[in-house]
Amino acid sequence: MSEFAQQLIRWQRHHGRHGLPWQGRRDPYAVWLSEIMLQQTQVATVIPYFERFLDCFPDIATLAAAAQDEVLAHWSGLGYYSRARNLHRAAQIMAESHAARFPREFEKILALPGIGRSTAAAISAFAFGERRAILDGNVKRVLARYFAVAGYPGEKKVEDGLWRHAEALLPETGVEIYTQALMDLGATVCTRGKPDCQRCPVGANCIANLQGRQAEFPQPRPRKVLPEKTTTMLLFMRHGEIFLEKRPPSGIWGGLWCFPESDSVENAQQQGESRFGFESDSPEYGPVLRHVFTHFRLHIQPLIINVRRIRPEVRQHEGLWLSVEDAVDAAIPTPVRNLLASLDRLV
C-alpha cells in the first residue's frame, strides 16, 4: 500500500466524517441515491433531502412505481433536476430488467442513466467493496494539488492524467475507507478557497503545498461571459389560488410545474386569454428576479394577473389551480418557489 493511501486511511479513522446518514450502509440503493444527490450539492443541503426521499421511496421498486411528479416534488429545491429524472428512469430499468435489484456488475451500473465512471466506482466500492478508483470534484482538487497537475480538469487530457494518478494510488485493501478519506479530505481540508494544509495528512509531499501554489491548482474553468436571457412569468390568480402548468419533459426544468411564460410583457394578458381563456384585469409588475444557470443568466419579470373569468369554450391546457401552500409542495423549480414565497409582498 502506498504511503499516500496509508496516511489517508489513518487520518480518516480519527479525523474523517463518520456520522453521515448514508455512511456504513451496504445497501446499493441508498449509496446510489446519496452519490447522485451529492453531485454538485453540499452535504448539509443533501442530508434532509436524502432522509425524506428514503422515507418516501425506501427501495427501487417503490421509486420505479412512483409518478414522476411525486419524485420531482421530493427533489424540488435541490436543483439539477435531470438527476431526479435519471434516478427515476434508472429505477424503472432496474425494475424491468433486474427484478428491482441493483446490479453488481460495474458495466451494468455504468449503463444506468445518470451514472458516470466515478459514480459507478463509488457505488461499487461502498456497496460491494470492489477496488475502483473515483474522481469526483473533491478528488480532482486533491490530486491536482498533490501532483501539481496543470490545466482545467474538465479538459479530457487533464482528466485522463488525473484518472491515471487515481488508479495508481488505489490500495489493494481498505478501498472503502480510502475512498471515504479522499472525499472527506477534499470536502473538509483541501477545500477550494482556503485549504487547511497544516491539517492535511499528505501535505508534506504535496507539490502545491511545498511550493506555496495551492491557489493555482486546479485551474478553474475558462471564464466565459454568460449570455443574458429574459422571460415574463405570468402569475395568474383567482379566488386565492395560483395557476401552474407542466413544462415539457426535456429541457430546462423538464417535467416541473411552472408559471406560464410570455414572450413579452405587452402580450401577457392577450396570451393568457388566447391560450387559457382567462379574462383578466391589467397585470401588476413584480420586481425582476435573477436566476443563474451554468450556461446563462435568466432575468424573470413576474406579472401578477387577477383572473375574473375563465371562458369555457377555450380548450384548457394541462394546468392546475392550487393554493399557494399546495403549490409550494409541488414539483417546482427554485425561481417559482421564490416567487411564491414573495406573493405576500407582491399582492
Q: Which domains does the chain have, with CATH numbers?
A: 3-216 (1.10.340.30), 228-346 (3.90.79.10)
To the query of whether residue 107 is one of the catalytic residues in this protein, the response is no
Instruction: Return d(Cα 29, Cα 220) in angstroms, integer.
Output: 33
Question: How many other C-beta atoms lie within 10 A of the C-beta of residue 178?
Answer: 25
Q: Are strands 228-238 and 297-310 parallel, antiparallel or unpaired?
A: parallel
Q: What is the pLDDT along the chain (347 residues), one digit of tens a residue?
A: 889 999 999 999 999 999 999 998 889 999 999 999 999 899 999 999 999 999 999 999 999 999 999 999 999 999 899 999 999 999 999 999 999 999 999 999 999 999 999 999 999 999 999 999 999 999 999 999 999 999 999 999 999 999 999 999 999 999 999 999 999 999 999 999 999 999 999 999 999 999 999 999 999 988 888 999 999 999 999 999 999 999 998 888 999 999 999 988 888 888 888 888 899 999 999 999 999 998 899 999 999 999 999 988 766 566 899 999 999 999 999 999 999 998 866 55
Q: Single out the catalytic residue among 3, 35, 172, 176.
A: 35
Nearest Cα to 317, choosing from 244, 251, 266? 244
Asked if residues 301 and 195 have their Cβ atoms less than 8 Å apart, the reply is no
Q: Residue 204 corresponds to which cell in the numbers above? A: 508534506
Q: pTM of this prediction?
A: 0.85
Helix axes 28-37, 82-97, angle to 10 degrees: 160
